Amino acid sequence: MNFYEMMFIQNPDLGEEDQEKLLTRLKNTIGKNGGGIIRIDDMGIRGLAYKIQKKPRGHYFLTYLEGPGSMIPEIERFLRIDENILRFVIVKLDRHTSRQDLEPKAEEKTGSVPENQQEEVAE
């Protein structure tokens, strides 16, 4: 079993219902191929650095998956076929990753890019 990070951009004009359907179908695809979603973060609608399919904005999602490598081509196939997925990237996480690292933490503000890191360096 491997851990993967998957980010995708969904059509921002999609209604809530269609979005639910899409996510359910995605989950089913992953489930059917022996994998599971550990976590799914909705990063919200953001501006794109360049237009994709003439759209200036996209709805970003960041997900963490667990499963065999053989599920990846199937997921990619699904994402490519669906017209409402504008882009995606799947990255395999290194072997030292554990489930706990990926599970949602209570206080963590998920998905957003930290603007000011709170760690303070001594001196």
Partner 1 sequence: MQNRQSNPRQRTYYKRKACRFCEDKKLPIDYKSPHILKDFITERGKILPRRITGTCSGHQKKLTLEIKRARIMALIPFTVHD
Interface residue list for partner 1 (CB under 8 A): 7, 9, 48-50, 52, 58, 60, 62, 87, 89, 91, 113, 115, 119
Q: Residue 1 or residue 89: which is nearer to partner 1 going by CB?
A: 89
Q: Residue 16 or residue 120: which is nearer to partner 1 going by CB?
A: 120
**Gap between the terminal Cα atoms of the chain:** 43
CB of 115 to partner 1, least distance (A): 8
Cα–Cα dist 115/97, whole Å = 25
The label of the residue with tokens 């501006």 reads 47
Cα–Cα dist 116/65, whole Å = 28
Helix axes 71-81, 16-32, angle to 10 degrees: 160
The pair of structure tokens assigned to 112 is: 């957003």
CB of 31 to partner 1, least distance (A): 25
Q: Residue 14 or residue 52: which is nearer to partner 1 going by CB?
A: 52
Q: Residue 16 or residue 50: which is nearer to partner 1 going by CB?
A: 50
CB of 81 to partner 1, least distance (A): 18
